[in-house]
Amino acid sequence: MDQWSKVHVWVGINNESEEQFNKYFELDYSDPDMDIDDPSYKVCQFCEDINKRWYDEDFFGVFIPEEYPQLVDVDKLLEELNVSEETLTKIKNICISKGFEKANTIFYYHDPEITVKDKGKLYNGLVYIGKFDTDY
């Protein structure tokens, strides 16, 4: 299955500094010769949360609007996603049902094979919205 065919979406209210927020996604490049299967490889928190040792940054996106830390309509955040209008409406309705008519951060990852098991947990302070088909 094509890597771009599905997108996982997290939305919410981020109260962390940019440095602290980004630390959650930080991959270990300290030793370019180290294999990710090496026991001393430091797995990032995002990787742990999606049950992987590494993630491909080319398939990852984060959007924090210029109004940050103020909240914006969730529609503004969802504009970052390459999904159909029907899927966009579905995502927006899920956000609203989870209490997010307004938020200040979204991150997303394209990977059809991962399964986010703990849907009730906060991921870097954000709520997992779901996995959706894309327009790629």
pLDDT in tens, 14-29: 999 999 999 999 999 9
| Overall pTM > 0.85 | yes
The rounded percent of the chain whose pLDDT value lies above 70 is: 100
CB atoms near residue 103 (< 10 Å): 23
Predicted confidence at residue 32, as pLDDT, reads 85
pLDDT in tens, 70-103: 999 999 999 999 999 999 999 999 999 999 999 9
Mean of per-residue pLDDT scores for the chain: 95
Its domain, for residue 117, covers 3-133
Length of the chain measured in residues: 136
Helix (H, G, I), strand (E, B) or coil at 20: helix
Q: Is the pLDDT of residue 125 over 90?
A: yes
Tokens of 12: 């919410």
Per DSSP, the residues of 60-122 read: EEEE--TTTTS-EEHHHHHTTS---HHHHHHHHHHHHHTT-SEESEEEEEE-SS-----TTSE
Task: Give the total number of structural domains in the chain.
Answer: 1
Helix (H, G, I), strand (E, B) or coil at 38: coil
42 φ, ψ to 5°?
A: -85, 110
Q: Is the pLDDT of residue 136 over 80?
A: no
What Cα–Cα distance (Å) separates residue 113 from each residue in 52, 93, 99? 11, 24, 28
